[in-house]
Structure formats: structure tokens, C-alpha cells
């Protein structure tokens, strides 16, 4: 049985990828490795937790002995590496956590795979990264796979370092690797520190909607299930040693995105359109805030025939509806209830 280790599989993107792989490939053995920190939540995976081809392992990608034992136990053919600290604001307040997890953790995982894979035929180490490694764009242009790295935050610098280390292992040790860099994901199960779920949560509670600076910072937004489909495709058909950019073709200024969410939420909650916009408050800007990200995903389109399927209006509405329908999930996540439960039961 084909055996795949997915790291960070109880996180936001990992949740959607693990579900997809478990359901779509019953002949694969999917092992989900997650430390279950604040953003990891096994409740997300209730519907597949008893699947015969799925196993969860709690553990730390920085723990070399643990990883070595895991590779021996499951004899992985492949790794899909999503585990990472990912929130820019947290990286500003605590850079070392990002260095330890995103850099040291990635190298420890690479070393475990390299140590176990005596024969590299049929093996694959697929590293998931971000468009933030490319830095900041002006009013025009797009990031391509050839764009030089220019990270501006501790988070993006840690991801840029991990990307380069993965590629270094390919060139130095012939490690069979693939890298992909994605734009901002959104959709169900995202921890509510990120922009879209935070705004939805605050609108529902009638709380202030904090928008950094002038609100004109621009991001490309990718529906998370479109991203999971792209990872699936790249894993199976991507070329070893290559990098693929994954974008949503959905470039929005932050203030425009918040306005759209306000109007969707007003409609869903039966309020007069424009009511929630009154909650918007512009706050002091984040240090080193990148002005604009935009991805050129044409390589993925031309080589593997992938493009996003969910348009932004549909995706934002589906996201808002999910959070409104899953208030218990949101309450438990924001209170830390799930994390305390798993800390007690998985130690």
C-alpha cells in the first residue's frame, strides 16, 4: 500500500487535503502527523477518523528520534509537508517559534526521509510554501516561479529558508522534491486569527472590524479546496525538482474584501445592507506590511491543466455560511476547548 506522511494535517489546509486524499485514494495509507497546537483540530476530521486507510499520529517535526521511528513504523513512500507556523503577526511577536518549526522542523523531516529512503525510486518529498517568500509587488506585475526571493517578515523569511533547504537537499543529496507556493487561502476550518474568519466572527458579534493602515493592501485569495485539488494534482503529476505557483485569480484590496464580507453577512443575517460596514475601523499598520501579492499560475495551467474552480463571490458566501452554521466549532476553537481535550487524550 502506498504510504504517505502528511504533516500539519489537522490544520486548515491540511484538513482539506487529508480528507481529499483519504476519500479519493482508498488504496493509499494516509498518516496525519500534527502536534495539535492552537491551530490543529481533530474535530475537523471526524468524518474520516475511522477510515481503514487513515491514521493520526501526534508528534513534533523537530523531534528527530520520533520521526525516525515513524518512518520505520510506516515505511513512507512520500511526504507532503504542510506543518508550519503561519501567522505573520505571531512571527513579529515571536520570531524564534517560526525559526524552530519552519526551518529546523523542515530540515529534521528532510533528514528523517533521507536516512530512511535508501532507494529513492518512487519516493517524493513535496513541500508546501507561500507566495510571501517573493516579497512585495508594486501596482503591476505578478509573482512567477522565477521571481527572486525577497521575504519581508520573520514568517516569510522562515518559509523562504525552508524552501531553499528543500531545494538544496535535491541538488546536494538528489532528494526527489517538489515545491509549491500558494496565495492566501480561505474557506471552512480556518483559525479565526486570519482576516476572513476574523471579520465574519466579529460581524456576527457586532464587534469592531480592524483593518490595517489604509486598507489598500492587496492579496490574491485561493479557495482552500481548489488548493487541495492543486496539491493532489502536483503530487501525482508534477515533475521532480520543479516549483509550481498556485493562485486563485482573485486579487482584492483588503478593504474591498471586508466590504464584500460585510454585505454578504448582512444579507445572511437579515440586516440592512451597509449595517456591518459601520463596524470597520482602521488601525495602526503592521510593521513591514507588504503592499501587494499576486500570483501568475500559468505554469500550473499549461503543464498540468489546473485552474481554480470556485469564483470569489461563491467562495466568500460559502465561507460565511459555514462559520454561521458552525458556531460551536468556532466557540470551542476560540476558547481553546479542543486543544485542552486533545492535550489530555493524546499525551
Phi-psi region at 241: left, alpha or beta (left = phi > 0; alpha = psi -120 to 50): left
Catalytic residue (one of 34, 43, 85, 131)? 131
Distances 60 to 7, 11, 28, 84, 203 between C-alpha atoms, Å: 9, 14, 23, 11, 36
- Whole-angstrom distance, CA of residue 64 vs CA of residue 85: 18
Catalytic site includes residue 155: yes
Contact 273, 203 (CB under 8 A): no
| For the chain, counts of helices (H) and of strands (E) | 13, 12
Question: What three-state secondary structure class fits 275?
Answer: coil
Catalytic residue (one of 132, 163, 226, 296)? 132
DSSP letter at 26? T
User: Which single residue is written with the C-alpha cell 445572511?
Assistant: 268
Contact 238, 27 (CB under 8 A): no
Please give the radius of gyration of the chain, using alpha carbons only, rounded to the nearest integer: 20
Q: Which residues are catalytic?
A: 131-132, 155
Amino acid at each position: 500500500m502506498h504510504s504517505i506522511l502528511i504533516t500539519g494535517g489537522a490544520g486548515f489546509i491540511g484538513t482539506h487535503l487529508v480528507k481529499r486524499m483519504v476519500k479519493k485514494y482508498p488504496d493509499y495509507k494516509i498518516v496525519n502527523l500534527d502536534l495539535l497546537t492552537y491551530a490543529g483540530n481533530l474535530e475537523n476530521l471526524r468524518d474520516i477518523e475511522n477510515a481503514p486507510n487513515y491514521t493520526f499520529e501526534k508528534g513534533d517535526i523537530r523531534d528527530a528520534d520520533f520521526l525516525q521511528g515513524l518512518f520505520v513504523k510506516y515505511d513512507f513512500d512520500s511526504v507532503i509537508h504542510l506543518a508550519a507556523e503561519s501567522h505573520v503577526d505571531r512571527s513579529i511577536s515571536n520570531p524564534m517559534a517560526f525559526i524552530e518549526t519552519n526551518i529546523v522542523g523542515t530540515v529534521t523531516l528532510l533528514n528523517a526521509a533521507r536516512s530512511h529512503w535508501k532507494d529513492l525510486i518512487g519516493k517524493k518529498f513535496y513541500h508546501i510554501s507561500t507566495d510571501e517568500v517573493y516579497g512585495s509587488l508594486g501596482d503591476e506585475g505578478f509573482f512567477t516561479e522565477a521571481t527572486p526571493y525577497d521575504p519581508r517578515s520573520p514568517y516569510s523569511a522562515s518559509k523562504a529558508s525552508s524552501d531553499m533547504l528543500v531545494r538544496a537537499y535535491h541538488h546536494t543529496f538528489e532528494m526527489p522534491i517538489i515545491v509549491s507556493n500558494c496565495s492566501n487561502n480561505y474557506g471552512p476550518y480556518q483559525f479565526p486569527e486570519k482576516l476572513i474568519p476574523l471579520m465574519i466572527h466579529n460581524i456576527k458579534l457586532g464587534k469592531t472590524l480592524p483593518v490595517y493602515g489604509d486598507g489598500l493592501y492587496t492579496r490574491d485569495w485561493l479557495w482552500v479546496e481548489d488548493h487541495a485539488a492543486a496539491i493532489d494534482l502536483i503530487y501525482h503529476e508534477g515533475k521532480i525538482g520543479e516549483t509550481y505557483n498556485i493562485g486563485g485569480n482573485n486579487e482584492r484590496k483588503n478593504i474591498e474584501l471586508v466590504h464584500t464580507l460585510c454585505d454578504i453577512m448582512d444579507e445572511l443575517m437579515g440586516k440592512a445592507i451597509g449595517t456591518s460596514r459601520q463596524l470597520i475601523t482602521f488601525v495602526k499598520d503592521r510593521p513591514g506590511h507588504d503592499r501587494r501579492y499576486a500570483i501568475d499560475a500559468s505554469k500550473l495551467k499549461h503543464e498540468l491543466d489546473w485552474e481554480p474552480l470556485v469564483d470569489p463571490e461563491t467562495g466568500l458566501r460559502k465561507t460565511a455560511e459555514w462559520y454561521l452554521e458552525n458556531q460551536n466549532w468556532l466557540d470551542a476553537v476560540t476558547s481553546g476547548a479542543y486543544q485542552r481535550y486533545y492535550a489530555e487524550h493524546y499525551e
